[in-house]
Amino acid sequence: MLYGVIKALLSGLLVGLVSETARRNAALGALFASLPLISVLGMIWLWRDTRDADLLADHAQATFWYVLPSLPMFLVIPALLRRGVGFWPALLAGCAVTVVLYGVTVAVAARVGVRL
């Protein structure tokens, strides 16, 4: 139980660090947000919990493929915000685009033999 609390607190601390940094310096906050800190932490926790190299390799590879369809969200949201769309609708649209692209990625990956 304590281990789970420690993982949650450390992960939450990183998210808080990113948001506080972004309030002071948007570019530096974006740099921190772009670092795969959560992915790295997830791999550390997975390795500590399982010591399973194959599972970790599968996880890292799948993470790569899932990052790709999430990237357009970071273009859709600012484009909508700059056109006067409110934050929540812009965020929802960016997330919706990502969900659709996740589905496309899973379908294409399966067709070309990539296991996700």
Question: What digits encode the pLDDT tens for the residues 50-76?
Answer: 999 999 999 999 999 999 999 999 999
The pLDDT, as a whole number, for residue 103 is 96
- Could you give the CA distance from residue 20 to residue 26 in angstroms, rounded to a whole number? 10
Q: Which residue has the higher pLDDT, 93 or 4?
A: 93
User: Using the 8-state DSSP alphabet, how is residue 72 labeled?
Assistant: T
Check whether residue 74 and residue 112 sit in a common domain.
yes
The pLDDT, as a whole number, for residue 7 is 85
Write down the residue that tokens 């139980």 correspond to. 1
Provide the domain count of the chain: 2
C-beta of residue 66 within 8 angstroms of C-beta of residue 88:
no
Check whether residue 60 and residue 30 sit in a common domain.
no
Check whether residue 79 and residue 91 sit in a common domain.
yes
